């Protein structure tokens, strides 16, 4: 799924990076970064309400390039700067995690497990 | 051999991950499979977060050799009274602050073990802990 689809389906705003050429195959919802760090998946969209620097660091270490912040959480300037340095995309949606995940899954984004 | 050293400041979550990020950038300059790099930096990042979460301060030393990457994560922290328990998934002594950062779920040490070939824990209660991690890169 192209990230432009993610943006359209969740009515999201792109606050870091560029979505046009980014594709994701799977999605994973978690506010617990410890769980994100146990994954071994490429081309994954991280759907999280954890809006802090450690979410970006976690994504960086786990080779995750696409993050969707849910529940109206906003990325801080420090998060956006770090995401830019690592060529990451951050999107923000006001949808709940359940709502965003449900819509994206129904549209073909696969579960990691 | 290339050696990298970083000081880690206990309690400073805004900087947690900086060392791991620098190591990742360095490892990418070598001909190492991206999956192996990910294993190394995930283990290192977990160790770095552990130092920030539990210790007053610490240091990370990384040695990159042709066949393996060796990492020492040393801290001046409380030590681990029961290593066996700490290795169990779900067991944690982390503070509320650490949990609010998205960590402290008792997954750190088990996940480090999963990502490296060798994990040795040398801990002294009241003094500190040293993790030795080895990842073969051949």
Q: Per-residue pLDDT averaged across A8-37, rounded?
A: 97
Q: Which residues of A touch B107 (CB under 8 A)?
A: 34-35, 37-38
- Which tokens sit at A52? 């802090």
Q: Say if the Cβ atoms of A54 and B108 lie within 8 Å.
A: no
What is the predicted pLDDT for the residue at B121? 97
* Closest residue of chain B to A59, computed from CA coordinates: B42
Residue A48 corresponds to which tokens in the numbers above?
Answer: 């999280």
> Does the distance separating the beta carbons of A61 and B102 come in below 8 Å?
no
The enclosing domain of A88 has a CATH number of: 3.40.1390.20
pLDDT tens track for A22-36: 999 999 999 999 999
User: Please, which residues have CB within 8 angstroms of residue B69's CB and are 6 or more apart in sequence?
Assistant: B27, B40, B62, B63, B134, B135, B137
The count of domains in chain A is 1
Q: Which residue segment(s) compose the domain that A54 sits in?
A: 3-111
Are B63 and B26 a contacting pair, CB within 8 Å?
Answer: no
**Yes or no, beta carbons of A54 and B17 under 8 Å apart:** yes
Nearest CA to A27 out of A44, A15, A42 is that of A44
The residues, ordered by sequence, that sit 6+ positions from B127 with a Cβ below 8 Å of its Cβ are B76, B79
Q: How much is the average pLDDT of A5-21?
A: 97
Q: Please check whether residue A55 touches B, CB under 8 A.
A: yes
Concatenating the DSSP letter of every residue in A74-111 gives: ---HHHHHHHHHTT-EEEE-SS-HHHHHHHHHHTTPEE
Taking one residue from A and the other from B, the number of pairs with CB-CB distance under 8 angstroms is 67
Residues in chain A within 8 Å Cβ distance of B90: none
Q: What is the pLDDT of residue B138?
A: 83
Residues of B in contact with A84 (CB under 8 A): none
CA B4 to chain centre: 14
B46 within 8 A of B23, measured Cβ to Cβ:
no
pLDDT of residue B129: 97
R_g (Cα) of chain A, nearest Å: 12
CATH dotted code for B2-136: 3.30.565.10
- C-alpha to C-alpha distance for B53 and B103, rounded to whole angstroms: 9
| Contact between residue A105 and residue A80 where contact means Cβ atoms under 8 Å apart | no
Q: In Å, how far is A28's CA from the nearest CA of chain B? A: 15
Beta-carbon separation of B14 and A53 below 8 A:
yes
Q: pLDDT digit string (tens) for A99-112? A: 999 999 999 999 99
Q: Is the Cβ of A96 closer than 8 Å to some Cβ of chain B? A: no
Domain boundaries, chain B: 2-136
Residues in chain A closer than 8 A to B14 (CB atoms): 53, 78
ipTM score above 0.90: yes
Task: Provide φ and ψ at A11, rounded to 5°.
Answer: 55, 45
Q: How many CB atoms lie within 10 A of CB B41?
A: 29
B84-107 per-residue burial string, b: 16 or more CB within 10 A, e: under 16: eebbeeeebebeeebeebbbbbbb
Q: Tell me whether A97 touches chain B (CB under 8 Å).
A: no
């Amino acid at each position: 799924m192209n990230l432009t689809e993610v943006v359209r389906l969740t009515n999201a705003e792109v606050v870091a990076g560029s979505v046009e050429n980014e594709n994701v195959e799977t999605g994973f919802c978690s506010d617990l970064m410890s769980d994100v760090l146990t994954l071994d998946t490429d081309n994954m969209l991280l759907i999280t309400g954890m809006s802090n620097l450690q979410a970006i660091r976690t994504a960086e270490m786990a080779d995750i390039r696409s993050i969707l912040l849910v529940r109206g959480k906003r990325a801080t300037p420090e998060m956006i700067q770090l995401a830019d340095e690592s060529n990451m995309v951050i999107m923000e949606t006001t949808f709940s995690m359940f709502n965003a995940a449900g819509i994206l899954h129904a549209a073909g984004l696969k579960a990691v497990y | 051999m290339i050696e990298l050293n970083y000081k880690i400041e206990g309690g400073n979550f805004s900087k947690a991950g900086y060392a791991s990020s620098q190591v990742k950038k360095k490892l990418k300059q070598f001909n190492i499979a991206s999956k192996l790099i990910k294993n190394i930096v995930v283990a290192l990042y977990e160790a770095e977060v552990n130092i920030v979460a539990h210790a007053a301060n610490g240091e990370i030393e990384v040695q990159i050799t042709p066949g393996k990457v060796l990492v020492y994560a040393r801290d001046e922290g409380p030590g681990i009274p029961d290593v066996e328990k700490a290795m169990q998934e779900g067991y944690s002594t982390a503070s509320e602050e650490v949990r609010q950062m998205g960590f402290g779920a008792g997954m750190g040490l088990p996940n480090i073990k999963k990502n490296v070939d060798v994990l040795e824990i040398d801990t002294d209660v009241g003094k500190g802990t040293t993790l030795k991690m080895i990842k073969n890169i051949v």
